[in-house]
Every structure is written in structure tokens, then in C-alpha cells.
Amino acid sequence: MVLHHDVPKMAPAVVGPCVQRLLARHGLWLSDIRWVSCHPGGRAVLDNLRDSLGFTEEQLRYSRQVLRNYGNMSSGTIGAVAHVLADERAQVRPGDWVLMVTMGAGFASNAALLRFPT
């Protein structure tokens, strides 16, 4: 599958409102989120989400690692990132928030929050 060249540019406009609504509903800020588990579709999408939405490289660390090691696995990518996070317990602290973000058919976006047990 090859993504249209406009996908990286369009991603922040679709993902941003979804993430903002979710965080607001839970009284959280992006700075409260330690990790972002993202189905990016590619490196350029992650770069644009970082630059437009304010994700940090540290938050995207494991999303980038999975993309680099396994490529775009479609929506299953977020599960692979979550698995890596669970295996990297030395980096994940109790109480850390994880923002899970997907993009899919019709250029829709969904997001969920996870919190590692305290």
C-alpha cells in the first residue's frame, strides 16, 4: 500500500481535534502524556504530528522504533508500540499516561488513553 503524498500534511488536521477532545474530557494536557502509541502511516506523518501538535521526540520514541523495525503494519502498529512499552518497563513508570492514536479509512482518527498501573 502506498499512501497519497498529501497524507502527512493532512494528518495533524484530523488527529489534532480528536486528541484535544480526548485530553479535555479527562482534564489532561499533552504535557501530562509520557508516551504516544501511534499508527503513523510513515515517518513523515510522525514528523508532521510532532511539529504541528507538539508531540515530543521522547513521546514518539517507541512509535518511531516500531516503524523503523517493522514498518507500517496498519492499525496493528499501535498494539505493537504498546507491546514494546510493556516490555520496556525500565523506561515506563507507574502512572505514566499513554496516548494511543490511529488513523484509518476515510481519513478518520481515533484516540484512547491508557495508564500504567501505580
Confidence of residue 77 (pLDDT cuts 50, 70, 90): confident
Q: Which amino acid is at 39?
A: H
Q: Are 64 and 41 in contact (CB under 8 A)?
A: no
Upper half-sphere CA count for residue 71 (Cβ side, 13 Å)? 3
Q: Are 100 and 59 in contact (CB under 8 A)?
A: no
Per residue in 14-50, pLDDT (tens digit) is 899 999 999 999 999 999 999 999 886 789 889 999 9
CA gap 7, 61 in Å, rounded: 21
Domains of the chain plus CATH, in order, are 7-115 (3.40.47.10)
CA gap 115, 99 in Å, rounded: 9
Q: Are 54 and 12 in contact (CB under 8 A)?
A: no
- The whole-number pLDDT of residue 90 equals 59
- State pTM to two decimals: 0.86
**Grid cell for residue 43:** 515517518
Q: Are 103 and 87 in contact (CB under 8 A)?
A: no
